[in-house]
């Protein structure tokens, strides 16, 4: 389950507070702590500081009429979103320069929903790595500061060559922001080099083009960047562009997950298993390297459903699946259907694969599922085949034959080629 993070909301108007509470209550992963005055905000901060990750504060409070609560939060290093009754261009500029995350005018339900969406964004940003590629240290520091303010994990590189090195060390980077004009390898060369390896939906690239170089923007896109941003830009322009691209990537990931993963357990599904597995099979056959195909089937699963109900059955499937995914981490594992799972273990001969799956059998057998306070033991039987006969289907058929023998022999057993 996702960790719940806390946010401090400071607002003196009862009516506004009611709407915010309502919108916040729809967010299961964020818990709000409320304060109605500056004094109360200080108190809440003292109590909750270790769990707080951001604050949403009203600019004008009866005991802090001039935005003192904003300075207080910023001084403590709390990412702060400001709520204000009226839009004031000068004030907005001043606050953004001070280092607030965002500025939201109280204009109705939509603006509170926007603020909560921004809070959610901050929460998710903490897990996203961004690489900033820019040779000018001033400009690089500025961009990095903007990103850090939005809680991204930020990495830096001074040119394209360095960027490629950083990416190799940190393959989990999701967003790359690159300047055009740089020594050794410029922005276009970098984008071209990266697009050979990373798809647009694996790594977002935003190109920056300097003033007076308008045509560079279009060229960035033509070379494979997801987006561009002409310099100089406003804080909000930059953040909106980043947010828009990150949200698109997350949507694509959701679509990929819906296509590739099983709804209940979130493990890969049968379709994905064959898509990736057939390529692994072909590669093993071509290289003559070992590949173990495993079919894992929970024992007497029907009895769990019949005795404890479908909900406990579902819980057992989820726990079982999580345990498989965790222990088979570097291998391909999928829920083939019902209580049956497939796995492919490249690099392991039959003996090693059996030993590996047998260890997993012991782990599962010693981790019961709980139906209330009652421990319900779970065991599985498995068949393991390393015979690369004709295709992956045939290899799985062999493994299925062994699984049948394991069930026949009394279950809670692993059977392989020997």
Ligand X SMILES: Nc1nc2c(ncn2[C@@H]2O[C@H](COP(=O)(O)OP(=O)(O)OP(=O)(O)O)[C@@H](O)[C@H]2O)c(=O)[nH]1
Q: Which residues are catalytic?
A: 339
Closest CA to 360 of 397, 402, 398, 413: 413
Q: Which residue is nearest to ligand X (CB)?
A: 313
Q: Does 405 bind ligand X (CB under 6 A)?
A: no
Q: Does 298 bind ligand X (CB under 6 A)?
A: yes
Q: Does 302 bind ligand X (CB under 6 A)?
A: yes
Report d(CA 257, CA 374) in Å as an integer. Answer: 34
In which element (H, E) is residue 32 found? strand 30-35
Q: Does 11 bind ligand X (CB under 6 A)?
A: no
Shortest reach from residue 417's CB to ligand X, in Å: 22
Which of the ranges 22-30, 57-65, 180-188, 298-306 carries the binding residues for ligand X, by CB under 6 A?
A: 298-306
Selected binder of ligand X within 79, 313, 383, 416 (CB under 6 A): 313
Residues 76-105 that bind ligand X (CB under 6 A): none
Residues 205-264 that bind ligand X (CB under 6 A): 264
Judge contact between 204 and 243, C-beta under 8 A: no
In which element (H, E) is residue 177 found? strand 175-179
Q: Does 301 bind ligand X (CB under 6 A)?
A: yes
> SS in 3 state form for 36-79?
CCHHHHHHHHHHHCCCEEEEEEECCECCECCCHHHHHHHHCCCC
In the shown chain, the binding pattern of residues 257 to 296 toward ligand X, with x for contact by CB under 6 A and - for none, equals -------x--------------------------------
Peptide bond into 329 cis (omega under 30): no
Which of the ranges 21-29, 131-139, 310-318, 360-368 carries the binding residues for ligand X, by CB under 6 A?
A: 310-318
Q: Are strands 340-346 and 332-337 parallel, antiparallel or unpaired?
A: antiparallel
Selected binder of ligand X within 314, 326, 374, 408 (CB under 6 A): 314
Residues 335-394 that bind ligand X (CB under 6 A): 338-339
Query: 345: which 2 tokens?
Result: 């273990």
Selected binder of ligand X within 42, 195, 261, 300 (CB under 6 A): 300
Judge contact between 202 and 244, C-beta under 8 A: no
Shortest reach from residue 298's CB to ligand X, in Å: 5
Judge contact between 347 and 290, C-beta under 8 A: yes
* Cα-based distances in Å from 156 to 131, 135, 165, 174, 408: 6, 10, 11, 14, 59
Selected binder of ligand X within 197, 271, 310, 359 (CB under 6 A): 310
Length of the chain measured in residues: 418
Shortest reach from residue 359's CB to ligand X, in Å: 21
Shortest reach from residue 81's CB to ligand X, in Å: 41
| Residue whose CB is less far from ligand X, 113 or 371 | 371
Where on the chain is the footprint of ligand X (CB under 6 A)?
Answer: 264, 297-302, 305, 310, 313-314, 317, 338-339, 407, 411
């Amino acid at each position: 389950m996702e960790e719940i993070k806390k946010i401090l909301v400071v607002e003196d108007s009862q009516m506004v507070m009611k709407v915010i509470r309502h919108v916040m209550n729809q967010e299961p992963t964020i818990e709000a702590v409320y304060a109605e005055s500056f004094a109360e905000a200080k108190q809440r901060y003292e109590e909750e500081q270790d769990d707080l990750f951001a604050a949403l504060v009203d600019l004008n409070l009866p005991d802090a009429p001039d935005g003192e609560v904003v300075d207080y939060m910023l001084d403590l290093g709390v990412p702060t979103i400001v709520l204000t009754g009226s839009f004031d261009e000068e004030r907005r500029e001043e606050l953004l320069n001070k280092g607030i995350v965002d500025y939201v005018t109280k204009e109705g339900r939509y603006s509170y929903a926007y603020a909560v969406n921004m809070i959610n964004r901050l929460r998710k940003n903490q897990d996203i790595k961004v690489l900033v590629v820019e040779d000018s240290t001033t400009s690089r520091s500025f961009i990095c500061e903007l990103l850090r303010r939005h809680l991204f994990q930020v990495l830096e590189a001074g040119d394209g060559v360095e960027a490629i090195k950083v990416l190799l060390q940190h393959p989990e980077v999701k967003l790359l922001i690159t300047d055009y004009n740089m020594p050794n390898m410029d922005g276009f060369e970098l984008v071209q080099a990266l697009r050979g390896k990373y798809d647009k939906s694996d790594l977002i690239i935003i190109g920056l083009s300097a003033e007076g170089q308008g045509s560079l923007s279009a060229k960035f896109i033509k070379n494979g960047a997801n987006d561009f941003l002409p310099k100089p830009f406003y804080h909000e322009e930059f953040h909106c562009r980043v947010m828009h691209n990150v949200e698109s990537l997350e949507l694509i990931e959701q679509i990929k997950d819906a296509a590739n993963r099983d709804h209940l357990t979130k493990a890969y599904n049968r379709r994905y298993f064959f898509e990736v597995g057939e390529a692994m099979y072909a590669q093993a056959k071509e290289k003559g390297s070992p590949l173990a195909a495993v079919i894992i089937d929970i024992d007497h699963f029907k009895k769990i459903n019949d005795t404890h109900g479908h909900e406990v059955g579902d819980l057992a499937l989820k726990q079982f699946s999580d345990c498989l995914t965790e222990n088979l981490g570097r291998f391909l594992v999928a829920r083939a259907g019902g209580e049956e799972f497939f796995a492919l273990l490249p690099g392991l001969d039959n003996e090693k694969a059996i030993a590996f799956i047998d260890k997993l059998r012991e782990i599962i057998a010693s981790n019961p599922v709980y139906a209330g306070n009652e421990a319900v033991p779970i065991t599985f039987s498995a068949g393991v085949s390393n015979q690369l006969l004709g295709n992956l289907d045939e290899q799985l058929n062999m493994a299925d034959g062994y699984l049948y023998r394991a069930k026949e022999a009394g279950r809670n057993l692993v059977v392989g080629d020997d």
